[in-house]
Structure 1
């Protein structure tokens, strides 16, 4: 048997940690899941406990009740611990970036996996994972804090990265640039003057400050006003999820070295 590709993460996980990412996937990529006869999603590197895979199945089935989830972990001890949680539509397997699945997945979600890798390794991992996708499939790779208040993730297809999404629990957000600490590995070291992601977060903070009068109406109204202002200068998605505490921007606008 071939050795899995990759190294074990710390395995930190908590129930509901990935709820924002899951709901975004179900809302914006539900069509990709519905294309297949038996759509499969992979929770890659789910960690020391299987909660994220269990929850992913529940949330994706709101988009397609036929959806199945395969949790993949490089640590065989974690796989053995997850086996009692298997049920119809949910299985756990030993593996890594080779993505051992019987069928090409419509979705691969890799949350908090690449953070421990070097920036120079990210592109090759993205290419490897995207090559495993079913036609029309999507890879979602990113980082969040321990209890799911702050997330940033990249969505990719076979052609490469498409978008970057910033998501927050607005009641706990002091300023948008607080999300910088959760940038995925491809961007976190690029948050310096002269790089597009740094300029984006700078403009985000400026728009947030300008929207301060809306704070009396609540954090959500201030965020919506901020994003509307930001959209004048940045290519933001018009997916109407701003009210959820999310904003999605085209990857080409934030790609390292594109400024």
Structure 2
């Protein structure tokens, strides 16, 4: 067997850490999975415990009973520890970004696996994953806080990134731009003046501040109003399955990737005058 592509991560994980992204996946990808005869899903880099892969399997089985999930890990000890939990439709395998599975997966979830890489490497790993998925398939790649209360993720297809989603528990932030620390590796160093993602987060904070009075009715109502305001100026999803009040009520907001894409992908951002002068 060829050496797996990638490096061993810290492996931090825990019960329900990825509940937010799993909830989004079942809504956004349920129809895609049900459209296939033998839908295969890969959970890439599940970490030191099998638990988040098992949770993904159970959540996807609820919307697509025929789905098969394979957890892929680059650490042989983690694979050995997970295998006692295998069951029909759920298995664990040694590997990395090359996705060593028997057929192209329809869906790949890759969470908290790219933070240790450079931006250029992250783009390369995206390209490798995109080359391995089934036609019409999807990759969900992102990162979250230790307990999963703050998260962002990108939805990619074989042609490239399509969406960026922000998700948070309402008591886990003071302003939306607090989620910037969880931006995907391809964006996390782009939160600087002159980059689109910086402009978006600035406008998100502004919409959050303008709707502060609604906080008297709860942060949920304030988030919904801020999302609605943003949608007037940014390509925020406003209809199911990706958007609209039903998703916003969950502390989610999804928008088109093109609106926040870095100006020079894979290369460090150019410092602006105000950055140089600090």
Aligning the two structures, in what range does the TM-score lie when normalised by the shorter sequence? over 0.9
Deviation at 1:136, TM superposition (A): 1.2
Unmatched 5+ stretches in structure 1 = none
Asked whether 1:245 is paired with 2:251, we answer yes
Asked whether 1:6 is paired with 2:37, we answer no
- Number of the residue aligned with 2:126: 126
| TM-score (ref. length: structure 1) | 0.98
Q: SS at 2:146's partner residue? A: coil
Q: Is the 8 A contact 2:150 2:172 kept in 1?
A: no
- Select between 61-70 and 150-159 the one with higher mean Cα deviation: 61-70
Deviation at 1:120, TM superposition (A): 0.8
CA RMSD between the two structures: 1.1
CA distance in 1, matches of 2:219, 2:66: 37
1:34-73 pair list within 5 angstroms:
34-73=34-73
Deviation at 1:68, TM superposition (A): 1.1
Deviations 1:130-187 (A, max 9, x none): 1111121100000000111000000000010000000000122211011001001000
- Select between 168-177 and 71-80 the one with higher mean Cα deviation: 168-177
- Number of the residue aligned with 1:232: 232
1:204-219 pair list within 5 angstroms:
204-219=204-219
CA distance in 1, matches of 2:39, 2:180: 33
How many positions carry a matched residue from both structures?
259
Q: SS at 1:33's partner residue? A: helix
Q: SS at 1:131's partner residue? A: helix
CA distance in 2, matches of 1:58, 1:135: 25
1:79-118 pair list within 5 angstroms:
79-118=79-118
- Number of the residue aligned with 1:184: 184
CA distance in 2, matches of 1:245, 1:89: 31
CA distance in 2, matches of 1:18, 1:29: 16
| TM-score (ref. length: structure 2) | 0.91
CA distance in 2, matches of 1:62, 1:161: 27
Deviation at 1:115, TM superposition (A): 0.5
CA distance in 1, matches of 2:38, 2:57: 13
Q: SS at 2:167's partner residue? A: strand
Deviation at 1:88, TM superposition (A): 1.3
Q: SS at 1:247's partner residue? A: strand
Q: SS at 1:139's partner residue? A: strand
